[in-house]
Amino acid sequence: MPIKRLKKFLKENKVKFKSIKHSPAYTAQEIAAAAHVPGKALAKTVMVKVGGKMAMCVLPASYKVDFAELKEAAGVDDCELATEKEFQEFFPESELGAMPPFGILYDMDTYVAESLTENEEIAFNAGTHSELVKMDYSTFEELVKPKVVKFSFKQLPGMDDS
């Protein structure tokens, strides 16, 4: 079960969390609607290559990565969206596109959009397209120790989901 690794990590760290099952959904906006979670509190994970290294960007469902801002914030020469082929091997226990935003579990940097830190709680994919984990943002930040930077902007309705 994909969530097993994440739940084990959360339990080992004595984290209070809630598991939310929902009908299968694939885009961040669909997931927010299916799970009845506000889009700004749903944290989506976007896989990127920052300076040639695989990394996670975590941002509100209704936001989009600004690669120029991320590149500047990370202090690297190149920054781009990773392809599924490039990152799928890192997450053998997760459904493709449903990785939990815990770079610490996968030995990769995690960048969190400044706008996400405004939430008391966040919800995120738990390794499947039909289950979320909801927890306090402050606890997430304490566990993951992400680099909190400004690298996103609110996307207009009808835009794609990256």
57 belongs to a structural domain: yes
Report the CATH number that the domain containing residue 85 is assigned in CATH.
3.90.960.10
Per-residue confidence (pLDDT) for residue 156, from 0 to 100: 56
20 belongs to a structural domain: yes
80 belongs to a structural domain: yes
Which residue matches tokens 């290294």? 53
CB 4 within 8 A of CB 92: no
Per-residue confidence (pLDDT) for residue 2, from 0 to 100: 55
Could you give the number of structural domains in the chain? 1
Which residue matches tokens 């944290």? 43
Closest CA relative to residue 122, chosen from 139, 136, 110: 136
- Which domain range does residue 44 map to? 3-154
H or E segment at 53?
strand 53-60
162 belongs to a structural domain: no
- Percent of the residues in the chain that have a pLDDT greater than 70, as a whole number: 94
161 belongs to a structural domain: no
Chain Cα centroid distance, residue 97: 10
159 belongs to a structural domain: no
Whole-structure pTM value: 0.90
Strand pairing report for 121-128 and 131-136:
antiparallel
